[in-house]
């Protein structure tokens, strides 16, 4: 029995907690982790006890009397570290093991203590590890050269991202400091490709997946309220208020601006009918202290109901106590995101999760339904796999050079080549990138060594260097000396305009460009406030499912009558196309003065099709929300050029290179890509921004079906 394998202090912890039994993922993990040194991915639904599944056996197995930090816990969020700290610390008290938070906001005394006497467990983010490598590499060796386990929380949020590639590189660098390899345990509720997750450890063959498929009951309801403007319809807000007023609720729209609009307008309705006043917004622009208050309020308030309008900041596993309902406003950009959000309600074993999906336009309704159906089929979109992450290699070359205060070029090349993250990148490619870095003064060559160059110093001496994701140029928003939050600055932000922030409407009274500060006062003039937000990337599978729904005859029980009627209307609209094979056909609407092509493809394929249409000199506009190309051409001209559309794919890199010269902002998706030689920028764009292979397959396999 798994319980009997655990050490006595851990068994006592379980008895004191009065657990009736171990969860399935815990039972599976305890024996595997205790009896082998393999890497593990623990995959099970939200709130299924994954953290304990990792730490119960690790704490039973590891000898914490040995010198050095024994366990490293890596999290994508500082807030998640702060949250998990208390859970892990409580568990570790039974073993007298020290637990240290290590991030920019953590207690310096605790950090100094663990540096003087390295031991126990450290909870950290990838950026703090990077900062340690850059500024105090001797501390990395001192702390982590005898590491036994690395636990990566919410590992899905790293896989397929630049941040994940950076973390892989850091893990490889820490592994090099150890005489004996440490084991990695990844935790996630939403992994779309287990082989990619296994690659993350650097040793795929030695990594096992423990998958708990225990399903959670979900009560899902779809509601449709057509929006005629950018604002949410009043009828939707009234319905949403009635649905949520007597519950503890999280509402997930798809932008910060929409989160603010919801919090403000729902509170107004509540004030009018004398309901509760606990309406909050929670997103990256809200000040940290305000966010922490909201989290504390939700977690500690067992009696009062609340409504938190939030973005992905509450998508991951921060504990905010009991949530009765989750509301999604318009379609999520991914199935993974939907799963994470659904998992926030009904966290107790016997509870059903309650999910309400509100759509404000037909295509959002269709996309929401597609995501829901794919989720019910247990499908999660796979992450983007990048074989040659040249941009992160360049960043790591700077990090290594800075950390060594100068390094032989041969040693730098070897370190990069030996790093399992970059094993697909050849030595010749590494040499070309390093030489280019010398040319543009990121590095300076001194005989056989390189040090950080003049331009490089400006970069590596900035706190922004530690991250590989782009951060917005935000302005601090202040009222009467109190920081409310930060917002991205744009030309639309002017004095006398109103903005939404922290669930209130504010009037801008002064903008200080030098100190990047916006002074505000509470707004009372009823002037419309501004929104801010951005679009996501949609996977091919979601669009294909949307296409399938339009041409099936199914009636979906989760839809209310208005939603059913809207889907029926869309089916009628597409009924003018005789489509019998969804894999090999796409609708082409022949209108009087233009054409409309529905590709039903993912965002990256659509970008590629648009590039090819531009090369063919076919004037077009892409509506990404419905995967539609509006083409200004005659049918004859279009079909002639369409038949030759794949020809430029043979020489696509030169086309991308030309495009990059005209539009250098094409590299904006990559923080470090702009410092690469042009040919590597082109390869990166080809691999990450476009999708050449799937576009070619699609264009070669489909026929266009015209309207009757």
Mean pLDDT value of segment 501-528: 83
Residue 682 has, within 13 A of its CA and on its CB side, a CA count of 14
Cβ atoms within 10 Å of 703's Cβ, excluding its own: 9
Banded model confidence at residue 533, pLDDT cuts 50, 70, 90: low
Task: Report the alpha-carbon distance of residue 40 to residue 151 in Å, rounded.
Answer: 10
Convert the pLDDT of each residue in 83-113 to its tens digit: 888 889 999 999 999 999 988 777 788 888 9
Tokens of 634: 């005659």
Structural contact between residues 216 and 352, judged by C-beta atoms closer than 8 angstroms = yes
Cα–Cα dist 386/567, whole Å: 37
In this prediction, residue 70 carries a pLDDT of 97
* pLDDT tier at 655, thresholds 50, 70, 90: very high
Query: In the chain, what percentage of residues exceed pLDDT 70?
Result: 97
pLDDT bucket at 35, cuts 50 / 70 / 90 = very high
pLDDT of 317 above 90: no
Q: What is the mean pLDDT of residues 267-277?
A: 94
CA distance 9 to 15: 10
Q: Taking 80 as the threshold, does the pLDDT of residue 592 lie above it?
A: yes
What CA–CA distance (Å, rounded) separates 538 from 705?
Answer: 24
User: Which pLDDT tens digit goes with each residue over 63-75?
Assistant: 999 999 999 999 9
- Per-residue confidence (pLDDT) for residue 400, from 0 to 100: 97
Q: In the Cβ-directed half-sphere of 534, how many Cα atoms lie within 13 Å?
A: 5
Cβ atoms of 252 and 310 closer than 8 Å = yes
Q: How confident is the model at residue 218 (pLDDT cuts 50, 70, 90)?
A: confident
What pLDDT sits at residue 636?
93
Model pLDDT, residue 412 = 97
Q: Is the pLDDT of residue 491 over 70?
A: no
Min mean pLDDT across 282-291, 539-548, 657-666 is at: 282-291
Pairing of strands 149-152, 183-188: parallel
Q: Is the pLDDT of residue 82 over 90?
A: no
Q: How confident is the model at residue 584 (pLDDT cuts 50, 70, 90)?
A: very high
d(CA 414, CA 340): 40
- Strand 353-359 and strand 325-329: the pairing is parallel
With 80 as the cut, is the pLDDT of residue 356 above it?
A: yes
Token representation of residue 395: 């960043």
Q: What are the strands, taking DSSP E only, across 364-438?
A: 407-408
* pLDDT, greater one: 408 or 472: 408
Residue 523 CB-density burial (10 A; 0-12 exposed, 13-18 middle, 19+ buried): middle
Q: Indicate if 575-706 has the same CATH topology as 390-466.
A: no
Is a pLDDT exceeding 60 seen at residue 543? Answer: yes
Q: In what order do the strands lie in the sheet with 149-152?
A: 99-102, 121-124, 71-74, 149-152, 183-188, 39-43, 207-211
* Residue 604 confidence class, pLDDT cut points 50, 70, 90: very high
**pLDDT grade for 339, boundaries at 50, 70 and 90:** confident
Burial code (b: 16+ CB inside 10 Å, e: under 16) for 42-71 equals bbbbbbbbbbbbbbbbbbbbbebeeebbbb
Residue 525 has pLDDT above 80, yes or no: no
pLDDT grade, residue 531 (50/70/90)? low
Q: Is 379 within 8 Å of 665 (Cβ atoms)? A: no
In the structure encoding, which two tokens stand for residue 482, read together?
């109190």
Strand partners, 598: 628
Can you give the pLDDT at residue 256? 86
pLDDT of residue 530: 63
Return mean pLDDT, the chain: 91
DSSP H helices, 145-226, are 162-177, 194-199
What is the pLDDT confidence band of residue 347, given thresholds at 50, 70 and 90? low
CA distances from 194 to 44, 75, 543, 651 (A): 13, 19, 23, 34
Using the predicted structure, report yes or no on whether residue 348 has a pLDDT greater than 70.
no
Region 499-514 average pLDDT? 83
The per-residue pLDDT for 619 is: 93
Instruction: Please state the length of the chain.
Output: 708
pLDDT score of 361: 94
Handedness of CA 285, 290, 292, 296 (dihedral sign): negative
Phi, psi of 175 (to 5 degrees): -60, -35
pLDDT at residue 483 is higher than 70: yes
Question: 3-class secondary structure for 38-61?
Answer: CEEEEECCCCCCHHHHHHHHHHHH
129-176 tens-digit pLDDT:
999 999 999 999 999 999 999 999 999 999 999 999 999 999 999 999
Over residues 581-586, mean pLDDT: 94
Distance CA 282, CA 279 (A): 10
**What is the average per-residue pLDDT within 481-487?**
84
Does pLDDT of 336 surpass 70? yes
Question: Does residue 134 contact residue 396 with C-beta atoms inside 8 Å?
Answer: no
Confidence tier at 532 by pLDDT (50, 70, 90): low
pLDDT of residue 679: 96
Highest mean pLDDT among 154-163, 339-348, 517-526: 154-163
The residue extents of the domains of the chain are 2-211, 218-376, 390-466, 575-706
End-to-end CA distance of the chain: 67
Residue 516 confidence class, pLDDT cut points 50, 70, 90? confident
- Minimum mean pLDDT range among 33-37, 342-346, 543-547: 342-346
User: What's the rounded Cα separation, in Å, for the pair 415 and 425?
Assistant: 12
Distances (CA, A) of 100 to 71, 106, 481, 488: 11, 9, 33, 33
* Residue reference for tokens 């504010």: 506
pLDDT over 90 for what percent of the chain?
A: 69
Looking at residue 535, its pLDDT comes to 62
Tokens of 272: 């009018």
Q: From CA 443, how far away is CA 436, in angstroms rounded?
A: 9
Query: Which CATH entry fits the domain spanning 575-706: 3.30.1360, 3.40.50, 3.30.450, 1.20.1410?
Result: 3.30.1360
Sign of CA dihedral 310, 315, 320, 326: positive
Q: Which residues pair with 210 in a beta bridge?
A: 42
> Is the pLDDT confidence value at 288 over 90?
no
C-alpha to C-alpha distance for 334 and 354, rounded to whole angstroms: 19
473 vs 306: which has the higher pLDDT: 306
Structure tokens belonging to residue 685:
């764009």
Count of alpha carbons within 13 angstroms of residue 350, beta-carbon side: 0
Q: Which of 46, 2, 49, 7 is nearest to 28 (CA)?
A: 2
CA distance 257 to 499: 9
Lowest mean pLDDT among 58-62, 183-187, 282-286: 282-286
CATH class of the domain whose range is 390-466: mainly alpha
Considering the segment(s) 2-211 as one domain, its CATH architecture is 3-Layer(aba) Sandwich (3.40)
Structure-token match 């339904």, residue found: 369
CA atoms within 13 A on the CB side of 480: 3
pLDDT confidence tier of residue 193, bands split at 50, 70 and 90: confident
Can you give the pLDDT at residue 271? 94
Residue 524: what pLDDT?
79
- Topology (CATH) of 218-376: Rossmann fold (3.40.50)
Q: Helix, strand, coil shares of the chain as percentages rounded to 5? A: 45, 20, 35
Reference 284, options 251, 260, 319; nearest CA is 260
Q: Which two tokens stand for residue 161?
A: 């991202």
pLDDT for position 514 = 80
- Is the confidence at residue 384, as pLDDT, over 60? yes
């Amino acid at each position: 029995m798994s319980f009997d394998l655990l050490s006595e202090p851990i068994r006592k912890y379980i008895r004191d907690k009065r657990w009736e039994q171990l969860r399935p993922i815990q039972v599976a993990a305890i024996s595997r982790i205790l009896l082998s040194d393999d890497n593990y991915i623990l995959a099970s639904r939200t709130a299924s006890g994954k953290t304990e599944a990792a730490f119960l056996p690790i704490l039973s197995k590891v000898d914490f009397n040995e010198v050095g930090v024994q366990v490293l816990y890596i999290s994508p969020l500082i807030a998640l570290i702060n949250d998990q700290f208390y859970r892990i610390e409580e568990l570790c008290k039974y073993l007298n093991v020290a637990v240290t938070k290590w991030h920019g906001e953590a207690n310096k005394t605790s950090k100094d203590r663990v540096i003087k006497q390295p031991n126990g467990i450290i909870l950290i983010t990838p950026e703090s590890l990077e900062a340690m490598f850059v500024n105090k590499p001797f501390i990395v060796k001192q702390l982590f050269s005898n590491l036994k386990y690395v636990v990566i929380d919410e590992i899905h949020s790293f896989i397929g991202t630049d941040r994940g590639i950076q973390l892989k590189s850091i893990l490889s660098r820490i592994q090099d400091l150890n005489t004996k390899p440490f084991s990695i345990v990844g935790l996630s509720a939403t992994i779309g490709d287990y082989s990619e997750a296994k690659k993350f450890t650097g040793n795929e063959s030695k990594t096992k997946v423990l998958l708990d498929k225990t399903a959670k009951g979900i009560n899902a309801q779809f509601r449709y309220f057509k929006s005629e403007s950018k604002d949410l319809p009043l009828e939707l807000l009234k319905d949403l208020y009635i649905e949520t007023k007597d519950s503890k609720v999280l509402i997930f729209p798809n932008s910060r601006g929409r989160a603010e609009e919801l919090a403000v307008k729902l509170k107004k309705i509540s004030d009018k009918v004398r309901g509760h006043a606990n309406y909050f917004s929670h997103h990256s622009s809200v000040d940290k202290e305000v966010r922490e208050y909201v989290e504390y309020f939700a977690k500690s308030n067992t009696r009062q109901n609340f409504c938190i309008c939030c973005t992905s900041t509450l998508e991951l596993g921060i504990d905010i106590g009991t949530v009765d309902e989750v509301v999604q406003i318009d379609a999520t950009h991914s199935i993974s995101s939907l799963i994470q959000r659904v998992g926030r309600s009904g966290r107790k074993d016997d509870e059903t999760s309650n999910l309400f999906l509100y759509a404000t336009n037909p295509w959002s309704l269709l996309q929401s339904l597609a995501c829901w159906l794919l989720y019910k089929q247990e499908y999660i979109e796979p992450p983007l796999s990048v074989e040659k992450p040249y941009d992160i290699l360049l960043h790591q070359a700077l990090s290594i050079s800075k950390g060594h205060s100068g390094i032989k070029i041969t040693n730098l090349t070897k370190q990069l080549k030996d790093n399992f993250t970059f094993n697909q990148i050849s030595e010749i490619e590494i040499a070309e990138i390093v030489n280019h870095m010398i040319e543009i003064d990121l590095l300076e060559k001194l005989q056989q060594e390189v040090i950080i160059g003049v331009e490089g110093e400006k970069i590596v001496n900035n706190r922004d260097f530690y991250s590989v994701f782009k951060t917005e140029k935000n302005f601090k928003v202040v009222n009467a000396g109190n920081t409310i939050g930060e917002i991205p600055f744009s030309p639309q932000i002017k004095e006398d305009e109103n903005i939404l922030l922290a669930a209130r409407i504010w009037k801008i009274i002064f903008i200080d460009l030098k100190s990047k500060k916006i002074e505000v006062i509470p707004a009372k003039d009823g002037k419309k406030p501004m929104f801010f937000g951005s679009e996501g990337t949609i996977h091919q599978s979601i669009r294909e499912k949307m296409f399938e729904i339009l041409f099936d005859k199914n009636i979906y029980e989760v839809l209310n009558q208005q939603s059913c009627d809207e889907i029926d209307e869309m089916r009628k609209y597409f009924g003018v196309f005789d489509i019998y094979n969804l894999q090999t056909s796409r609708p082409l609407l022949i209108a009087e003065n233009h054409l409309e092509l529905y590709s039903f493809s993912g965002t990256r394929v659509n970008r590629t099709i648009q590039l090819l249409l531009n090369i063919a000199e076919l004037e077009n506009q892409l509506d990404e929300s419905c995967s539609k190309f509006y083409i200004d051409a005659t049918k004859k001209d279009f079909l002639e050029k369409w038949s030759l559309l794949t020809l430029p794919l043979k020489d696509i890199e030169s086309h991308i290179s030309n495009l990059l010269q005209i539009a250098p902002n094409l590299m904006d998706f990559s923080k470090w890509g702009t410092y690469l030689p042009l040919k590597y920028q082109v390869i990166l764009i080809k691999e990450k921004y476009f999708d050449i292979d799937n576009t070619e397959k699609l264009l070669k396999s489909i026929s266009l079906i015209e309207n009757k």
